[in-house]
Every structure is written in structure tokens, then in C-alpha cells.
Amino acid sequence: MTDLPVRLDRVTLTYGQRVIWSDLSLDVAAGAFVAILGPNGSGKTSLLRAILGLVTPSSGRIEVLGHAPRRGDPGIGYVPQRSDFDPDLAFRGRDLVRLGIDGHRWGFGLPHPSVRAQVARALASVEAETYADAPIGQLSGGEQQRLRIAQALVGDPRMLLCDEPLANLDLRYQQTITELIAGWQKRTGGTVLFVTHDVNPVLHLVDQVVFVVNGRWAAGSPDEVLTSERMSALYRSHVDVVRVHGRILVVGESTESGFNLDEPHHVPVAVEPH
């Protein structure tokens, strides 16, 4: 038993014959903001799923909030990768948030004043009251993402797991969503695990970075991990980490396609248009 909200001790995750990553060790301090980075298919989401207790590692030990990972842990709020709702779906943001309170319980779930008040507070905390009663499939991606965060936080978790919460959002909404999460963390002292392909929008918040590439990984503070040496070792090819205007760019050796590193857009690269 430890006070650390998340602790991984030489954990290896495999799907069939395929090793996703091996011997991953990680100590996350309470109240930390952890960015989980790496190209697509490198097992970032799998790391969250292992912490949620949805996949069991083939070896090693995971401890979450002082115990083995278990599905439905009320101490964890989860914002999944964006999924689209049918525009005709008879379902409101208010209903989505309510699921976060008691959606997992059996039975019908009749309306209750205290539950209604709890939903209203969660909606207010993300400023989503104006569209909470519209069909959820007709809302913009940013509006849906706010509702998802309200849903994840409505049960007062101690830890928030977010999977690419900024993907496909415009700059304004990226900032709004980031501020919402940072605000929650400041208020409650909660821990955030944040999967992203671009670290820059959250760089000012990040205490700890986990970078996963091709089964290999590196963890530590951004300054420790996001260096040319560490990244070159991870990618096993020459990689430059450049800091421009307070942003971090990870750039591979130039090939005919310019930025390479297998899948250029998965590298935390941000380029200002000219």
C-alpha cells in the first residue's frame, strides 16, 4: 500500500503474441498531471485500460489508488476517445452526465431531486447549462467534450483519465477544455492522466511525461524525457527535439516526406502556418 495514486512495477502488456510495451515502471504522485505521449498504436490507450482494470497485464504489478485495478472504481473519472453520437439520438447532455452518477446500477433509475441537483452542479462547473437539454448528437465536438468532462467529474473522483480529449477540437476549445481540467485539479488536488499526441496545449501543466514508442518507453519530467538523446534512443533513429516559442517540436531525420518518424502527425509537432 502506498499513497501514490498510480504505481506500475515492471508491467508488460501483450495482446496475443504482440507485446504492446514491456517492463513499464511508473510512479505517479498525488496531484500530478501526467502526459502520456507516443505515436498511434503504441499502447497509450492500453495503458489507461490497464489502469481502469479493463485489460490484465501479462506480468508485473499495477496499483491504483492503493489497490489492484478494478473495473468501476468510483475514484476514477474517465473521458474516452471521442465517439460520435447519432444526431437523432433521443439523449441529452444532462442524461449523459447522469449516467456518470448511477448509470452502472441496476433498475430503472427514477428522477430524484438530489441527483438532479448533482447533475446541475456538474453542468454548471463546465458551463454547459445552455445546451444541456439539446439532443447530444447535434452539439459540436467541443460542447460534447465539456459534457464528457462533467460526466467524468460528477462522481467526485480522485483521478481523471483522459484519452485524447483535445483531438479534433479547434484552438479555442482546446484551451477551454485544458482550463477546465486544470481548474478541477487545482480545486481538488486530483491526479490527471492525459493521453495526447501533441503535448504543447498542456505543456504548462505537465509534471510528468510517459512516452511510448514501439514497445519501448521513457518516463520522467518533460525536461528529462523530451530531449534529443532520449527521443533518439526511443525511436532508434536520429530525432531532434527543438523548442520554439515555448513549444516542443519532435522532428525526425528528413526524408522525402519531410517529417518522418513513421507517422508524422502522431509526433508531438506543432507548426505555425506562414
Partner 1 sequence: MDQVVALLAYDFVQNAIAAGLVIAVVSGIVSRFVVTRNMSFAVHALSELGFTGAAGFILLRLSPVLGLLAGTAVTAIFIGALGVRARGRDVVVGVVMAFGLGLGVLFITLYKGYANQAFAILFGTITGVSRGDVVLLVAIGLVTIAALAFVYRPLTFATVDPEVAEARGVPVGALAVVFLLIMAAAVAEAIQVVGVLLILTLLITPGAAAERLTPRPGVAVAWSVGIAVFCVLGGILLSLATNAPVSVFVTSLSFACYLLARFVVGPRRRQLRAIHSARADEAASAAVASGGSADL
Interface residues with partner 1 (CB under 8 A) are 52, 54, 70-72, 76, 78, 80-81, 83, 85-92, 95-96, 99-100, 102-109, 131, 133-136, 138-140, 142, 151-152, 170-173, 198, 259, 264-265, 269-273
Q: Which is nearer to partner 1, 115 or 233 (CB)?
A: 115
Q: How far is the CB of 53 from partner 1 (least distance, A)?
A: 8
For partner 1, which is the closer residue by CB, 18 or 172? 172
Smallest distance, partner 1 to C-beta of residue 72, A: 2
Question: 57: how many CB neighbours lie within 10 A of its CB?
Answer: 20
Closest separation in Å from C-beta 224 to partner 1: 25
Residue with Cβ nearer partner 1 (164 or 219): 164
Let me know: does 161 contact 77? Beta carbons within 8 Å: yes
The secondary structure of residue 82, as a DSSP letter, is P
Phi-psi region of 113 (alpha: psi -120 to 50; beta: other; left: phi over 0): alpha
What's the angle, vertex CA 92, arms to CA 144 and CA 52, rounded to 5?
55
Of the pair 37, 219, the CB lying nearest partner 1 is at 37
Nearer to partner 1, 9 or 85 (CB): 85
Distances (CA, A) of 33 to 65, 104, 165: 15, 28, 14
Q: Which three cell numbers stand for residue 133?
A: 437539454
Amino acid at 156: D
Nearest-approach distance from CB 231 to partner 1, in angstroms:
17
Exposed, middle or buried, 115 (CB in 10 Å: 0-12/13-18/19+)? middle
Distance CA 6, CA 254 (A): 38
CB of 204 to partner 1, least distance (A): 16
* Least distance in angstroms from the C-beta of 220 to partner 1: 26
The residue (of 58 and 168) whose beta carbon lies closer to partner 1 is 168
Which residue's C-alpha cell is 460542447? Answer: 143
